Amino acid sequence: MKRWIWQQSEYPNFAYDLKRLESLIQKVSLEQGYLIALAQTIDKDNILQRRFESLMNEAISTSAIEGEILNRDSVKASIQKKLGFKEIHYKKIDETTDYLIEILIDANTNYDKELTMERLFGWHNALFPKGYSGLRKVNTASFRGEETMEVVGIERGREVVFYEAPPRADLEHEMQRFLDWFNAAEPSLIKACTAHLWFVIIHPFDDGNGRIARAITDLVLSKIENSKISRLYSMSSVINTDRKGYYSALEHTTGYINKENNPLDITNWCEWFLSTLHNALIDTKKKLDYIVQKTKFWDRHKNDELNAREIKVLNFILDMGAENFQGNLSKKKYMSIADTASTNASRDIAQLLELGCIRQKEGSSGRNTAYEIILD
């Protein structure tokens, strides 16, 4: 029985229902355009900070999807070095983490370069510089071995093969066909969907296939966006929050869950992929909106003589986003954030009210008095 997608006679002639995808494609394209425009209104320091945060989230999340937990301080130090920060904790830099950051930056800056096996082997070698994945030795910078590549898991108490990849003997042909298509196809959202899926279908390496597939996705998106915003958002962060949906979409597409109609139809996968990308863009738009709000707020209050406690509390709320600050600001919360005494909190709140930085929440009084930051 031809169970897996690559066993179909018409593979890799993938099919998809463009009518079902049109609305999502438009939504994603709209958010991409909005982010490009919004990014141009934000100063370089804030953009650099956002790139830093996004790279950190991407590195940590793309590894977490595969069950690998990175040291946050090591990731931070590596990114600081790559982005040219002055204060860098070199002792915290880990070789493997450092190379992963290089892969992510390469995918998002050198998007005009051809994708070749040499480049992919370089990425793979960078993922496993010591030749091991945990305690397991892997073939680095080369195709996987002769043994059958299976994705195995437990379902209802029994071991199940969720996917079986093409045999080792077919990999050179499979990868050449993939690379010829990739380098010839015009950049598009459908190409991003297809490239990610197709690489995962081939599964050319012992380990690291998912991380490299997500880097390839970044390569396509960077080309579409001319790398103006790609490193401002992290698609892997959203994938990591919906790993169950990620693997379910793959199972429905690659053959574990048999499709009644065309087994080469990838519409369901494309819908999941585009929805996830849309969520990543929306999340980043909110964060950039917070930066714009914060900039405007401090422009209005740049001449106000605020103390360090007041600035700390206001920035805490602005960085989080006023709508995400649960329960509004109270005296008790002010004391906690500023780490200060009751008398100082009362004095500070009175001054912030007088300067028009905050206002009392309508309907609140007495011990339940609450305040909100004034953004308009």
Kindly report, residue by residue over 78-111, the tens digit of the pLDDT. Answer: 998 888 887 777 778 888 899 999 999 999 999 9
Active site residue 203: yes
- State the pLDDT confidence band at 344, using cuts at 50, 70 and 90: very high
Average pLDDT over residues 35-49: 88
Tens-digit pLDDT profile for residues 274-333: 999 999 999 999 888 888 888 899 999 999 999 999 999 999 999 888 777 877 899 999
Domains 5-290 and 301-373 share a fold: no
Give me the architecture of the 5-290 domain, per CATH: Orthogonal Bundle (1.10)
C-beta atoms surrounding 234 within 10 Å:
26
Binding residues for ATP: 207-214
Q: Report pLDDT for 45.
A: 87
- Give yes or no for a contact between 97 and 75, defined as CB atoms under 8 angstroms apart: yes
> And the tokens for 188?
């598009």
Q: Which amino acid is at 88?
A: I
Q: Report pLDDT for 323.
A: 76
* DSSP H or E segment with residue 33: helix 18-39
Lowest average pLDDT, out of 65-69, 171-175, 203-207, goes to 65-69
Binding residues: 207-214
Tens-digit pLDDT profile for residues 161-193: 999 999 999 999 999 999 999 999 999 999 999
Pairwise CA distance, residues 72 & 92, whole Å: 10
Pairwise CA distance, residues 345 & 334, whole Å: 6
Average pLDDT over residues 349-373: 94
Domain 301-373 adopts which CATH fold?
Answer: Arc Repressor Mutant, subunit A (1.10.10)
In whole angstroms, how far apart are CA 311 and each of 44, 292, 315, 348? 22, 17, 6, 10
Lowest average pLDDT, out of 22-26, 36-40, 200-204, goes to 36-40
Q: What is the pTM of this model?
A: 0.86
> 20, 357, 68: which is closest to 208 by C-alpha?
68
> Is the sign of the CA dihedral 49, 291, 65, 141 positive or negative?
negative
Q: Report pLDDT for 231.
A: 75
Q: Which of 203, 252, 278, 301 is catalytic?
A: 203
Query: Using CB atoms within 10 A of its CB, is residue 50 exposed (0-12), middle (13-18) or buried (19+)?
Result: buried
Beta strands 132-133 and 136-137 are antiparallel
- State the pLDDT confidence band at 115, using cuts at 50, 70 and 90: very high
Examine the pLDDT at 260 and tell me if it is beyond 70. Answer: no
> 264, 341, 347, 257: which is closest to 307 by C-alpha?
347
C-beta atoms surrounding 23 within 10 Å:
10
Query: Using CB atoms within 10 A of its CB, is residue 353 exposed (0-12), middle (13-18) or buried (19+)?
Result: middle
Give the angle 249-251-252 at the CA atoms, nearest 5°.
Answer: 65
C-beta atoms surrounding 171 within 10 Å:
19
> And the tokens for 119?
């480049």
Residue ranges covered by each domain of the chain:
5-290, 301-373
> And the tokens for 215?
């880097």
